[in-house]
Amino acid sequence: MSIRTIVNLPGDGIGKVVLDETLRVLEAVDFEANYIEGDIGWEYWKMEGNPLPQRTIDLLAKHKIALFGAITSKPKDEAAEALNPNLRDKGFIYSSPIVGLRQHFNLDICIRPCKTYLGNPLNFIRRGAKGEIEEPAVDVVIFRQNTEGLYSGVEWSNPSQQVHDAFMTNTRFAKNFGSTPKEEISISTRIFTRKATERILRAAFNHARNFGYKSVTLCEKPNVIRETSGMMYKMAMLLQKNDFPEIELWNTNIDAQMMWLTKNPENYGVIVAGNLFGDIISDGFAGLIGGLGFACSAQMSQEGIAVFEPTHGSAPKYADFDVSIVNPIAMIESACMMLDYIDEKDKAARIRKAVAEVIAEGKVRTYDMMKMSGRPDVIKNGAASSQEMVDAIIDKL
Ligand code: NAI
Ligand code: MG
């Protein structure tokens, strides 16, 4: 078998740390790959006026699979100030390279698993009927439509007359907003297409089938948002009936789901949602299993481009510590998702088992797991460094 090529996109700040540490784990599990590093992030914005250079896009187009750390993103004004003086006033405008990647490659499927590790002191706990403490084992995988819906950027403030006229053809708009001056109106649209909706639904059902989940929960609001959520709900019912009869389809509303999140999170398996609700629900579940140090994700396209990344950012505050204190597990878990994706499931399982053993033992914990605030002195106070955490995981391997 030929050796794979993986594009490494360390990015900025702690993205570099967690990716480097993760490569050590991949090596320890004898995963063989050629790694090529791609340029992305704030440094390239400052130097070149582009945080996502074309050469990086070309690399990913060629090799298809990337491990991505995290990048630093800043508001437009700050970005303009940070730009290399030679490039100022030459028309360079900052835009997030994450959004850039997502749009360029149409990474429409976002997957965010949230699984409880036994012994993680950050696990969500609740009281049972007799006042006893319960620690539900969460094992949820969220499938979020990643390119459409409320985040697609089709929006206006003070819309043009033509846009306003078009909206006025909608009777509800005319009745409720028709008398408001258009200068006082902002509109953000929520567009779902059948194609992308079908893809995210199918991906969710396939995942349930392949990984033994008994249910797929559609988490939307079809009783109120009738057109978009309503379409997704109808399509989910049809897909379940025709192609996935062995998997149960549950339907929850996003608001109620946020309540059930803490009441019975262990009951859910695969959850599928549009862009905004998927974003909300995945952060909600991530909070139950330890938060940013544990939250991993994948984004993938129909053309087979796949990017695996922790959901946390570059945490610039911690980037320059002499000894890195951040939790590398979210990035390591993201690499496990990559291994699953390229059919190296045994290696992924070995890594997850090693991580589980380290957490269950409880001897090696990064500062977040000890509920400390992140300062250089956490090491002195007993927290493990990023490197020590990875050493412990490698020991178990
Ligand atoms: P952040 O995720 O970088 O950090 C927020 C806080 O979470 C940190 O201060 C730290 O307390 C904690 N944290 C994050 N990762 C951790 C880890 N691995 N272990 C332990 N604790 C961890 O989000 P923030 O501070 O809002 O943004 C910082 C920069 O990152 C910004 O420039 C932002 O635009 C960017 N960002 C990038 C993302 C990406 O690359 N995917 C996602 C989110 C933010
Ligand atoms: Mg989010």
Q: Are residues 332 and 208 in the same domain?
A: no
Q: Tell me the average pLDDT across 308-325.
A: 95
Q: Tell me the average pLDDT across 10-33.
A: 98
Q: Are residues 265 and 353 in the same domain?
A: no
Burial class (CB in 10 A: 0-12, 13-18, 19+), 301: buried
Distance 312 CA to ligand 1 centre (A): 4
Residue 44 belongs to some domain of the structure: yes
Round to whole Å and give the CA distance between 142 and 274. 11
From residue 116, alpha-carbon distances to 135, 257, 285, 286, 294 in Å are 9, 19, 10, 9, 9
DSSP alpha helix (H) spans, 246-328 = 254-263, 275-288, 316-319
Angle at 266 between CA 261 and CA 272, to 5 degrees: 65
User: For a pLDDT cut of 90, what percent of the chain falls above it?
Assistant: 97
Round to whole Å and give the CA distance between 383 and 321. 14
Q: Which residues contact 44 (CB under 8 A, 6 or more apart)?
A: 50, 51, 52, 53
Residue 115 belongs to some domain of the structure: no
Q: Are residues 246 and 352 in the same domain?
A: no
pLDDT digits (tens, 9 = 90+) for 230-244: 999 999 999 999 999
3-state SS, residue 284:
helix
Phi, psi of 187, deg, nearest 5:
-130, 125
Nearest to residue 352, comparing CAs of 315, 316, 397? Answer: 397
- Measured by CA distance, the residue closest to atom 14 of ligand 1 is 312
Phi, psi of 174, deg, nearest 5:
-60, -40
Distance 130 CA to ligand 2 centre (A): 36
292 in ligand 1 pocket by Cβ < 6 Å? yes
pLDDT digits (tens, 9 = 90+) for 352-393: 999 999 999 999 999 999 999 999 999 999 999 999 999 999
Q: Are residues 182 and 328 in the same domain?
A: no
Q: Are residues 72 and 214 in the same domain?
A: no
Residue 117 belongs to some domain of the structure: no
- The count of domains in the chain is 3
- Measured by CA distance, the residue closest to atom 30 of ligand 1 is 313
Query: Other C-beta atoms within 10 Å of 350: how many?
Result: 20
Distance 293 CA to ligand 1 centre (A): 10
- Measured by CA distance, the residue closest to atom 27 of ligand 1 is 313
Q: Which atom of ligand 1 is nearest to the CA of 318?
A: 9
Q: Token pair 């927290």 is at which residue?
A: 383
Q: Are residues 283 and 332 in the same domain?
A: no
pLDDT digits (tens, 9 = 90+) for 44-56: 999 999 999 999 9
Q: Which atom of ligand 1 is nearest to the CA of 311?
A: 41
Distance 164 CA to ligand 2 centre (A): 31
Q: Are 139 and 269 in contact (CB under 8 A)?
A: yes
Q: Which atom of ligand 1 is nearest to the CA of 11?
A: 40
Measured from the alpha carbon of residue 285, the closest ligand is 2
pLDDT of residue 153: 87
Domain of residue 249, residue span: 124-152+192-288
Q: Tell me the average pLDDT across 346-355.
A: 98
**HSE-CB for 232 with a 13 A CA cutoff:** 36
Q: Are residues 263 and 198 in the same domain?
A: yes
Domain boundary among 260, 288, 316: 288
113 in ligand 1 pocket by Cβ < 6 Å? no
User: For a pLDDT cut of 70, what percent of the chain falls above it?
Assistant: 100
What is the pairing mode between strands 139-145 and 270-273? parallel
pLDDT of residue 2: 77
72 in ligand 1 pocket by Cβ < 6 Å? yes
Round to whole Å and give the CA distance between 243 and 206. 10
Residue 319 belongs to some domain of the structure: yes
From residue 237, alpha-carbon distances to 28, 198, 221, 233, 241 in Å are 44, 11, 15, 6, 6
Residue 1 pLDDT class (50, 70, 90 cuts) = low
3-state SS, residue 295:
coil
Q: Are residues 132 and 249 in the same domain?
A: yes
Q: Are residues 252 and 214 in the same domain?
A: yes
Domain at 365, CATH number: 3.40.718.10
383 in ligand 1 pocket by Cβ < 6 Å? no
71 in ligand 1 pocket by Cβ < 6 Å? yes
pLDDT of residue 35: 98
374 in ligand 1 pocket by Cβ < 6 Å? yes
What is the pairing mode between strands 296-300 and 306-310? antiparallel
Pocket test for ligand 1, best of 73, 120, 312 (most atoms within 8 A of CB): 312
How far apart are the two ends of the chain, measured CA to CA in Å?
24
pLDDT digits (tens, 9 = 90+) for 265-284: 999 999 999 999 999 999 99
Pocket test for ligand 1, best of 74, 292, 311 (most atoms within 8 A of CB): 292
CA 55, 61, 65, 66 torsion: positive or negative?
A: positive
Pocket test for ligand 1, best of 314, 326, 332, 386 (most atoms within 8 A of CB): 314
Residue 293 belongs to some domain of the structure: no
Q: Are residues 54 and 201 in the same domain?
A: no
pLDDT of residue 76: 86
Residue 213 belongs to some domain of the structure: yes
pLDDT of residue 26: 98
Q: Tell me the average pLDDT across 206-229.
A: 97
Dihedral angle, C-alpha 60, 343, 332, 17, nearest 10 °: -30
Look up the pTM and report it.
0.96
